[in-house]
Amino acid sequence: MKIENRLWLSFFLMVIMPILLIATVLFYSVATNLKQVREVYGVKDGDYSVLTNASQAYEHLTDEDYREIQSLTRTMPEKIFTKEWQNKTDKELQKKNTNLIIRRGETVIFNGRKDAELLQQLPAYEGTGEDAAVTMGTEDYSKLLLKQIDFKFRSGENVSVFLVTQTRGMIPEAEDMLETILVGLIAIFVVSGGGMTLWASRGIVIPIRRLETATKRIARGDLDFTMEVTRRDEIGELCANFEQMRKRLKESSEEKVEQDRQYKILISNICHDLKTPITAIQGYVEGLMDGVANTPEKQEKYIRTIHNKASEMNTLINELTVYSKLDTNRVPYNFQRLNVEGYFTDCMEELRLDLENKGIDLVYRNECDAGMRMIADPEQLTRVIHNIVSNAVKYMGKPVGRISFRIKDVGDFVQIEIEDTGKGIAAKDLPFIFDRFYRADASRNETKGSGIGLSIVKKIISDHGGQIWVTSKENVGTTMYFVLRKYQEAVNG
């Protein structure tokens, strides 16, 4: 949600939500308390005037008790003088803020209010038997409502039963309702205000603080974190842009570190791989100069060795030059439609003689149709094959070896498999053999090379739109696989 929309919605909710909650609280409170009023005060036909007339409400409060006692004076008056009835009745009346007082003759035999001064304020025996409620006239007891039942006992004694009700400005149910409404209003404003504040805080303040923390981490050079984007508003877009910036900074930093590492490896490899032939050349030249090679045979051997070492140096420099051009995309590819059978037949004839001179058999099998063509740069593809074969020869590690070529049709691609019977590649080295300047540690002192031959292969195949992968087993051999796209004539519908 956009921040502007969030602010408008926040304003709308802060106005509407309290109104709805207040209406809910009022409805619930009024409904609950009116139900109690109906039950306690016997309200009928929806006449709730008792809510505004406390005296009337309190007068109705004990109507039923009054009638029951009045009926008891006529049928079983002697029960009124039992302690059990007196205590039980007073306890029930206390639930209605009312107490029971019984006067027999001039003696009060039961006083539920435990107020001796009140006894002196009680009205005299009148014997009217009418249902009447009066408010105490004295100032100290102006909030007491009396209902008086007078009757003569069989012995001729005057007996008065008083129901004394403690009144207030409004009935308890009305007070409870107002208290509930007041507490509800306070809770509504606190909850709604707090909720809107929290919502705004989570929506605006918290993301800004996260951004602030992230910028401080970047300022310290810490890029190893993730700025999560969980929103679709302006701040979400800002977080997304910030995360993209962090990723680019991290990638640039990692690339720089990797480039520095690779350049160090390159320099180390070049120093090592150039020092060996240069040292050999220097040694043989000094031998010629010092007359150690004092026969034509020795001189020819020394000169041939110097030539071979110079060729190694030239090969290394050429590989570095090629890779530099490939890495900076400065190699102009000349893609052509090549006949698969014709190209690989010529390539095998060229390789066969060289491999036989090194004691390595060449096995070739083409499973593609005679007219099948592929899209490739013949010069760069030849470089790929020579690099793979040279690598296989270099790590053959056996006096007699075999290299097998298999050409297969795999749907839209031509798959080339080059299998050797060399010493294989360790499982721990297998994932890295296409990395620039990578060579297994064990091979450093046994073989010569820049360590970029296979990285050149991977780059060329990738630029052809193909893929390359490898399988290997130590002391058994290695198989290189790569695929090139076939040329297919467009079919007119």
Give the number of domains in the chain.
4
Residues 352 and 431 occupy one common structural domain: yes
Out of 330, 353, 382, a domain closes at 330
**Do residues 196 and 129 lie in contact, with contact meaning Cβ atoms separated by under 8 Å?**
no
Structure tokens at 417: 């498999």
In a domain, 402, yes or no: yes
Predicted TM-score (pTM) of the model is: 0.46
User: What's the CATH number where 286 sits?
Assistant: 1.10.287.130
What average pLDDT does the structure give for the chain?
81
Closest CA to 460 of 388, 409, 357, 360: 388
In a domain, 218, yes or no: no
Identify the helix (H) or strand (E) that includes residue 66: helix 63-75
Residues 135 and 92 occupy one common structural domain: yes
Residues 336 and 478 occupy one common structural domain: yes
Residues 261 and 315 occupy one common structural domain: yes
Could you say which DSSP state residue 202 is in? I
> Is the confidence at residue 493, as pLDDT, over 60?
no
Residues 165 and 182 occupy one common structural domain: no
Closest CA to 403 of 423, 421, 383, 424: 421
Torsion angle, alpha carbons of 392, 393, 398, 402, to 10: 70
Specify whether the backbone of 103 is left (phi greater than 0), alpha (psi in -120 to 50) or beta.
beta
Residues 112 and 202 occupy one common structural domain: no
Residue 96 binned pLDDT confidence (cut-offs 50, 70, 90): confident
Q: Where is mean pLDDT largest: 117-131, 242-256, 257-271?
A: 242-256
User: What's the CATH number where 361 sits?
Assistant: 3.30.565.10
**Do residues 223 and 250 lie in contact, with contact meaning Cβ atoms separated by under 8 Å?**
yes
Residues 279 and 313 occupy one common structural domain: yes
In a domain, 493, yes or no: no
Identify the helix (H) or strand (E) that includes residue 146: strand 144-152
Q: What percent of the chain lies above the pLDDT cut of 90?
A: 26
Residues 200 and 90 occupy one common structural domain: no
Strands in 285-398 per DSSP E: 336-339, 360-366, 373-376
Domain that holds residue 12: 3-50+174-206
> Is the confidence at residue 173, as pLDDT, over 70?
no
More confidently predicted of 82 and 145: 82
Structure tokens at 101: 């007082």
In a domain, 214, yes or no: no
Average pLDDT over residues 3-20: 67
Residues 153 and 202 occupy one common structural domain: no
C-alpha 132/C-alpha 145 separation (Å) is 10
In a domain, 191, yes or no: yes
Residue 36 binned pLDDT confidence (cut-offs 50, 70, 90): low
User: Maximum Cα–Cα distance for the chain, whole Å?
Assistant: 169
Residues 357 and 373 occupy one common structural domain: yes
Helix axis angle, 234-290 to 296-327, nearest 10°: 170
In a domain, 490, yes or no: no
Q: Count the alpha carbons within 13 Å of 123 in the hemisphere toward its beta carbon.
A: 21
pLDDT tens by residue, 113-128: 888 788 888 888 887 5
Residues 432 and 402 occupy one common structural domain: yes
Q: What 3-state class would DSSP assign to 124?
A: coil
Cβ neighbours for 84, distance < 8 A, ≥ 6 positions apart? none
In a domain, 285, yes or no: yes
* pLDDT at residue 311, rounded to an integer: 82
In a domain, 276, yes or no: yes
* Terminal Cα distance for the chain, rounded: 50
* pLDDT at residue 368, rounded to an integer: 94
Amino acid at the residue 5: N
Residues 339 and 325 occupy one common structural domain: no
* pLDDT at residue 442, rounded to an integer: 45
C-alpha 459/C-alpha 261 separation (Å) is 20
Helix axis angle, 3-41 to 172-200, nearest 10°: 170
Average pLDDT over residues 359-387: 93
Closest CA to 60 of 73, 47, 72, 71: 47
